[in-house]
Structures are given as structure tokens and as C-alpha cells.
Amino acid sequence: RKQIENGESVTPNLAPRSNDDQWFDWEPFMNRKWYEEVATSIPQEEIEKNALSIVRTPKDFLIQKKVQKIFDERVKMSKGDLKLNWGFAEMMAYSSLLKEGYPIRFTGQDVRRGTFDHRHAVIFDQNNGEGFLSLDSIAKEGKTLVDIYDSLLSEEAVLGFEYGYAATWPSGLVIWEAQFGDFVNGAQVVIDQFIVSAEHKWERLSGLVMLLPHGFEGMGPEHSSARLERFLQLCAANNIQVCMPSSPSQIFHLLRRQAIRKMRRPLIVITPKSLLRLPEAASDLSELTNGSFNCIIGDDLPKKNIKRVVICSGKVFYDLKKARDEKGISDVALLRLEQLYPFPYFEVEETLKDYSHVEDFVWAQEEPRNQGAWFSHRHRLERVLKKLKIESLFKPISRPPAAAPAVGLMKLHLQQQQELVDNVLNRDKK
């Protein structure tokens, strides 16, 4: 009793001594500037060498014929003989980071192959089913580690585990990919309680990357939307990054930027599905050997002829551009907003100042009006117009408001998509 009255412990301390071997120094990652610039391009010689490494297989390894075709094309892409697709750009990002010494951990329900059969980071022997990770040899060359696992069918458990990894491993690029972006709502509690708010509540940083396939392609309400609006609603005080890259070169530079720059904030990437192989969405090799991630991508049409400016994100750009080209329309500019948050005010201002003569501005999105980016971005877009002294407002063109993300009938989907495209490109429609 005397010990209790003196505030002393009356039971033995059973807590084990902390493991200093698992301690990481966060000091280099603290108080970093948000727009810190880092070099993310790599020489063509390195691309060619990495491409050969990622397609190399062990002796007597029987590779599946379709995968062999993909690998043969990757070698051609590395030499500039073919335009680059998404899978190649992704693998170039991972291989180049590993060679530079950045460790990578990648999990999700179908990440080794890729849900849409585009990645093939791990391949399997057709004789015995044994897997082979070609990135491992590159990791050894860079004296670092790479792990890639197909996880169990649980979003909450796996995302929570990977957040813990990222929150205690600042030097590593930790990636979790949803099989479809729609399924991320199964882990909403992890997003709300930890990923978007940990820095604000506990000053805990994390560089976790979430890849969320998204796109309205007639697959119904459970396979169309990563619920972009929910992430944007949770954005404040530069707590996370939300990006929607629309080309292979953009995902290449975005992933490399996330690993190389010292700022550690979660990165939400709204990734495509049909664009993975769309020829119009391919990139040139020079876009990897030069340049960096672009927060907004402009239009090549002559500025003086433009009468309507359309800003959009993701796959819908290619639907609009295809229809614009087919109809020979030359007075509608299509701009791609690739980084939704933090909103790139400076880059958007620099792009829109060339359209000071335009009076008709449109925000176009595939999502229903009550979803997508419109409600979170309307005031930001109009703030830019006000600063440029352009006396106009942005007009939204989208699917009508809906309780579900998408319709379940392909016929109705195609009808809605066509109406959306027509409304964006037809300036006479009100």
C-alpha cells in the first residue's frame, strides 16, 4: 500500500524493450515544401536496359504466349519503335526507382498481373505454376528490396496494414491497389480515421499510394466509380494528393515524384481501365526521357479560334477529343486537369490566361452532377477566372444527379455518354 501511496509501481513491467532496429529517421521528411521540384525523367539507355531486365526469364521457363507478346512489345517500346502503353510506363517507374535505391512494396487483390491484364510484374511458368519477379534482380542491383503480393479479398484489412507500413517506413514506396475503385468503400473507416487525418490529429506522416481504377464504361454501379467526390470532400490543409493521370507518361512521372521528393503525403491516384490499351492514350518515349508530371495539360488548337474552354479529367477527355476530331470542331479547347488536389492554381492560371477572350467555360465530367469533382472544384475554378478578370462562370456538363454512381444497362450508358459528349461540343445547346 505504501508503494501505491507513493505513486510507485506494484507490478513488474512486462513490456519488452523497443526494437531500435525498426526505427526510421523522419527528420528529412518533415516540413517539406509541397511543390518541391525533383527530376523524374530518365535516360533512354536506362529505359532500354530496364526493359530487357523486366522481360528476362529463367532458363527453361515456359512463358504464356500472350504474356510473351506483351514482353516483346515492351522491348520495342524501349527503343521507340512502338508508343508506350500504361503497363510499360508503370514498370519503368518501378524498375528505375529500384535501380536508384528506393524500396517498393505493392499489394492488392490482383496486383501481380493487374486486374486488367496490363502489368505482369510477376509471371508464371506454364509447366509448374512457379512465379517469377523480374524486378527482384533490379532491386538487388540497386541494393534495395521489392515485394509484391496478391492479397486476400479484404479492402479494410489490407489497406489498414499497408497504411501501417507506410506510416513507419518513410523511405519506401508503399502501394495498395483496389481491384476496382468502387471497392475502396469497404475500407472507408481506414481512410477517414488514419489516411486523411493522421497528420492533423497526431502529426503522423505517410506516403501511402492508393491506385483506384475508375471510369464509366457500361459496367454498372459497382464497377464504375472510385467515389472521387468522397476523397475531394476530405481534402483540407494539403493533407493528401488526388491525381487523375490520363497518359502513361503521367503515371510514370507521378509515381517517381512520390518516391523521390521528400514530402510524405498520401497519394490517391484515380487510374483508368480502358485507357490502359487505348492507342490514342499512348505516350512517346521522349515523354519519359524529358519533362515531369503536369498538373494540367493544355490544348494544341490555335488559341485565337477558341470560343469554348472545357476542363475535364480522365477518360472522358478521349471521348470528347475523338468526337471533336470526327466533327471537325476547331473552336472548343479541351484541357485536362491531372492534379485535383492540392488544386494547382498557378498552373491553371497560366493555362487559362491565353483564353481571356473566351466567354464560355465548361467543367465536363462523366460522373453524375452530385458526384465527381464539380461541387468541390467549382469555387476554385471560378476563383481563377476572377483573378484573370474574366467575367464568366463555369457551367457543369455531366450525367444527371443520381443515387447510384452509374446505370446498369449498356444501352442507357451509351445514350448518356453520347448526350454528355454532344452537350460539351455543341455550343448552341443550353
Give residue-wise pLDDT tens across range 35-55. 889 999 999 999 999 999 999
pLDDT digits (tens, 9 = 90+) for 65-77: 999 999 999 999 9
The pLDDT mean for the chain works out to 95
Name residues whose C-beta falls within 8 Å of residue 152's C-beta, 6 or more positions apart in sequence: 109, 158
Segment 60-88 mean pLDDT = 97
Q: Give the chain's count of helices (H) and strands (E).
A: 15, 14
pLDDT band at 427 (very low <50, low <70, confident <90, very high): confident
Query: Which residue has 492560371 as its cell numbers?
Result: 349
Predicted local distance difference test score (pLDDT) of residue 20: 60
Asked if 420 and 398 count as a contact pair (C-beta separation under 8 A), the reply is yes
Note the pTM of the prediction, 2 decimals.
0.94
Q: What is the length of the chain?
A: 430
pLDDT band at 21 (very low <50, low <70, confident <90, very high): low
pLDDT of 416 > 80? The answer is: yes
What is the enclosing helix (H) or strand (E) of 270?
strand 267-271
Asked if 173 and 209 count as a contact pair (C-beta separation under 8 A), the reply is yes
Segment 130-143 mean pLDDT = 96
Beta bridge partners, 149, equal 107
- Check residue 427 and report its DSSP letter: T
Predicted local distance difference test score (pLDDT) of residue 112: 97
pLDDT band at 34 (very low <50, low <70, confident <90, very high): confident
What is the enclosing helix (H) or strand (E) of 291?
none
Predicted local distance difference test score (pLDDT) of residue 15: 62
Name residues whose C-beta falls within 8 Å of residue 317's C-beta, 6 or more positions apart in sequence: 246, 334, 336
Coil vs helix vs strand at 253:
helix
Asked if 240 and 268 count as a contact pair (C-beta separation under 8 A), the reply is yes
pLDDT band at 17 (very low <50, low <70, confident <90, very high): low
Report the alpha-carbon distance of residue 378 to residue 293 in Å, rounded: 23
Going 50 to 96 to 109 to 219, the CA torsion angle's sign is: negative
pLDDT of 22 > 80? The answer is: no
Predicted local distance difference test score (pLDDT) of residue 237: 95
Name residues whose C-beta falls within 8 Å of residue 361's C-beta, 6 or more positions apart in sequence: 308, 309, 311, 381, 385, 390, 392, 393, 394, 395
Report the alpha-carbon distance of residue 146 to residue 102 in Å, rounded: 9
Show the domains of the chain with their CATH numbers. Answer: 39-289 (3.40.50.12470), 297-425 (3.40.50.11610)
pLDDT of 430 > 60? The answer is: no
Report the alpha-carbon distance of residue 236 to residue 200 in Å, rounded: 10
Segment 310-319 mean pLDDT = 98
Name residues whose C-beta falls within 8 Å of residue 59's C-beta, 6 or more positions apart in sequence: none
Instruction: Give all strands of the β-sheet with 308-312 in edge-to-edge order.
Output: 296-297, 332-337, 308-312, 360-368, 394-399
Distance, CA of 126 to chain centre: 32
pLDDT digits (tens, 9 = 90+) for 350-364: 999 999 999 999 999
pLDDT band at 16 (very low <50, low <70, confident <90, very high): low
pLDDT of 146 > 80? The answer is: yes
pLDDT of 221 > 70? The answer is: yes
Coil vs helix vs strand at 335:
strand
Cell of 250: 503521367
Predicted local distance difference test score (pLDDT) of residue 70: 97
Cell of 391: 467575367
Coil vs helix vs strand at 327:
helix
Beta bridge partners, 362, equal 310, 395
pLDDT of 277 > 90? The answer is: yes
Asked if 118 and 277 count as a contact pair (C-beta separation under 8 A), the reply is yes
Going 304 to 309 to 311 to 314, the CA torsion angle's sign is: negative
